[in-house]
Chains A and B, each alone.
Chain A
Amino acid sequence: MIKLEYYLIVSTLMFFIGIFGFITRKSMIAILISLELVLNAVEINFAAFNRYLFPEQMEGMFFTIFGIAITAAETAVALAIIINAYRLIGDININDATKLKG
């Protein structure tokens, strides 16, 4: 039988791989991809907890669905910002985006 812990181990490792990528990558799009990994890990947790601990209810599943929708909106806006930043500074290196530093 697949235990709840197996899901949690997978999502924990995925979460921290995402955090590692978020800190180390330089390209803005790569950072956004790391962020997707983090969000995806969290959503696995919601669904697994819902199924194993409270299978009669569906709160975890709805949180996952709303989380997916919010992630889609966030990605769209973030990519629009990145494309605009590319037009302003010529590349998508996070260290070059210093216009707001003043």
Chain B
Amino acid sequence: MSPIINLLIFGGLAVAMLIMSVMAITSKSLLRSATYLLLILICTAGLYLFLHYHFLAAVQVSVYAGGVVVLFVFAIFLTTPKDQVLLKHEYRRYVYAALITICGVGLVGFTLFKTKFIYAANPSVDGYLELPMQDIGRALMGTEKYQYLLPFEAISLLLLAAIIGGILIARKDKKDDGKDESLL
């Protein structure tokens, strides 16, 4: 693809992501927020494809779009109150949040434009450089320098702990068994 088309697609993805981020945090309906989040995550996978991290894009779509958003949707279904009233805005909180956001964007933007990044000699972003799957697998399964078996195992323990914790926390109490029948 020509660089111009690449840039156009990237710009479209970026603008769509930002607009949908704003929609996701301002939308009144939680389900709509979750849908916008899903689209944002898929667009992020598109950005990873632009960086030629194909495996990362696949992980992003399968874990985020496939797992996390489904969790969100189920949680929203399980927790929507029967008489959903719109919450009153607290304008003071909006003012504080806008202040923090503007200060933060200013600070980070200033740093960003002051910094000159030393690009690698061949960032191979426009060229084709896919990370071979074998390299990823070896790096995940080795114990030498720049290999990641220990974090990998730590993640597996963390996921186990999250599973057990999720079951423990969201478990129904034996006492009010009849009352909560409609929830699960």
Contact = CB atoms under 8 A, between A and B. Distances in A.
B158 A12 contact: no
Interface residues of B, number: 86
Contacts of A20: 25, 97-98, 100-101
A79 B72 contact: yes
Main SS of the interface on chain B?
Answer: helix
Given A10-B18, A61-B53, A51 B125 contact: yes
Contacts of B141: none
Given A24-B97, A37-B37, A52 B63 contact: no
A77 B165 contact: yes
Interface range on chain A (Cβ under 8 Å from partner) = 35 or more
Given A36-B37, A37-B40, A93-B87, A14 B21 contact: yes
Interface of A: 1-2, 4-10, 12-21, 23-27, 29-30, 32-34, 36-37, 40, 43-44, 47-48, 51-59, 61-62, 64-66, 68-77, 79-84, 86-87, 90-93
